[in-house]
Amino acid sequence: MKRRNFIKNASLSGVGFAIGSTITNCTEKSTDKKVISSIDKSTLPLVIATWDVPNATTKAWETLQHGKSVLDAVEQGCMIEEADLKNSSVGNGGLPDRDGIVTLDSCIMNSKGDCGAVVYLQNITHAVAIARKVMEDTPHVMLAGRGAEQFAYEIGFEKENLLTDTSKKAWETWKEKSEYKPIINIENHDTIGMLAIDKNGDICGACTTSGLAYKMSGRVGDSPIIGSGLFVDNEIGAAVATGLGEEVVKTVGSFLVVELMRQGKSPQEACEEAISRIVNKPNSNYKNFQVGYIAVNKRGETGAYSIHQGFSMTKYQEGKNENIQSDFFLKEEK
Ligand code: SD4
């Protein structure tokens, strides 16, 4: 039996089956219909993404217009940035770890609450596509390192070199000083996290990154961790994070944003509260790092907030694709 068939069959037995039925029961008693009736569906569909990524949101929007699923939309949108060699924090062309190796983290979550993730993936550009396959074709939610790479080859992906000449040169320059401190990119182009709602009000999200430039070998950030880098609850809304993953993980940031929306906060208020949890921690050195969140609720309202100035969200809604500067915490900064 091929390994892939074995993987699929494994989900039909033992623990796999027990877990599967729990998930099904949860979604069956969903109260989506009640919530959806209060949505102004004329504002849907809607796509939002972290940073200034017009090509990615356009791709997601067009995917929806062509009748494809909202899961296809977020996957296809993220793949645009993964394939962009000029984007040095995602996929092919991403900056390497301190040993010169490019490693990718990604996750995806659908409106039923299913999710898949890959961490420390090497030699494959489209980490988000592998994360989706983990969700759909295995009984697991996360594959790491060599196992994730092996799985990618088994489902037909080819080995690639992700270290571009530009990234290699940047790494060689970095090595001259080899500052141990992670360098936080708070520029205008970064990890992509994308959330989309289709015209029926169903929400999906995805997140993909090469993580912090010159990180320690083996380091994994928030981006592939469900609840930290991304969380979707089809009854409430969704959130996705960018910035220093360690700080997002410590506050389970995206789950927190969604839970705050569940308690009645708007997406904007929820993003602000999640940032305040980070900056108000005792001894927080938040002036030295960036974290940003974007969120959407079931009504199609959106929010974005970050610690430092310079974060933005790209939003495609009602045929208009715009980049919106995020409000931020450190107001004294210029
Ligand atoms: C990480 N959150 O690996 C990612 C990186 C990122 O802006 O978003 N940078 O920690």
Structure token digits, residue 240: 């996705």
Q: Which residues are catalytic?
A: 191
Strands 104-109 and 203-209: antiparallel
Pocket of ligand 1 (CB under 6 A): 89, 185, 190-191, 209, 211-212, 221-223, 242-245
* Structural contact between residues 194 and 56, judged by C-beta atoms closer than 8 angstroms: yes
Structure token digits, residue 186: 């708070």
Across the chain, the runs of DSSP E, i.e. the strands, are 46-50, 104-109, 115-121, 142-144, 192-197, 203-209, 230-233, 237-243, 291-297, 302-306, 312-317, 320-325, 327-328
- Residue 291 confidence (pLDDT): 95
Burial of 147 (0-12, 13-18, 19+ CB in 10 A): middle
Give residue-wise pLDDT tens across range 146-160. 999 999 999 999 999
Q: What CA–CA distances, in Å, run from 305 to 138, 246, 253, 286?
A: 35, 18, 12, 14
The pLDDT confidence band at residue 34, using thresholds 50, 70 and 90, is: very low
Q: Is the pLDDT of residue 41 over 60?
A: yes
Q: Return the amino acid letter for 35.
A: V
Whole-angstrom Cα distance, residue 232 to residue 205?
Answer: 7
Q: Is the pLDDT of residue 187 over 80?
A: no
Mean pLDDT for the stretch of residues 118-143: 98
Separation of 307 CA from ligand 1 center, angstroms? 14
* Structural contact between residues 119 and 148, judged by C-beta atoms closer than 8 angstroms: yes
The pLDDT confidence band at residue 5, using thresholds 50, 70 and 90, is: very low
Please state the separation of Cα 190 from the chain's center in Å. 11
- Residue 39 confidence (pLDDT): 63
Whole-angstrom Cα distance, residue 259 to residue 132?
Answer: 24
- Residue 43 confidence (pLDDT): 87
Whole-angstrom Cα distance, residue 192 to residue 199?
Answer: 23
Separation of 38 CA from ligand 1 center, angstroms? 35
Structure token digits, residue 302: 């959106």
- Residue 322 confidence (pLDDT): 97
- Residue 180 confidence (pLDDT): 62
**Choice among 30-34, 51-55, 125-129 with the minimum mean pLDDT:** 30-34
Our mutation pick for probing the ligand 1 site, out of 190, 244, 278, counting the most ligand atoms within 8 A of Cβ, is 244
Q: Return the amino acid letter for 16.
A: G
- Residue 86 confidence (pLDDT): 87
Mean pLDDT for the stretch of residues 65-83: 97
The pLDDT confidence band at residue 40, using thresholds 50, 70 and 90, is: low
Give residue-wise pLDDT tens across range 225-269. 999 999 999 999 999 999 999 999 999 999 999 999 999 999 999
The pLDDT confidence band at residue 38, using thresholds 50, 70 and 90, is: low
Q: Is the pLDDT of residue 93 over 70?
A: yes
Whole-angstrom Cα distance, residue 293 to residue 271?
Answer: 6
Whole-angstrom Cα distance, residue 334 to residue 109?
Answer: 36
Q: Is the pLDDT of residue 327 over 60?
A: yes
* Structural contact between residues 212 and 92, judged by C-beta atoms closer than 8 angstroms: no
Our mutation pick for probing the ligand 1 site, out of 223, 230, 307, 312, counting the most ligand atoms within 8 A of Cβ, is 223
- Mean pLDDT, all residues of the chain: 87
- Residue 23 confidence (pLDDT): 29
The pLDDT confidence band at residue 6, using thresholds 50, 70 and 90, is: very low
Quote the pTM value: 0.88
Residue scoring higher pLDDT (332 or 9): 332
**Choice among 3-7, 275-279, 301-305 with the minimum mean pLDDT:** 3-7
- Residue 28 confidence (pLDDT): 35
All structural domains of the chain, each given as residue ranges with its CATH number in brackets, are: 3-11+39-328 (3.60.20.30)
Residue with CA closest to ligand 1 atom 9: 243
- Beta-bridge partner residues of 38: none
Q: Residue 266: helix, strand or coil by DSSP?
A: coil
Whole-angstrom Cα distance, residue 81 to residue 278?
Answer: 28
Structure token digits, residue 175: 């090595």
Mean pLDDT for the stretch of residues 20-24: 30
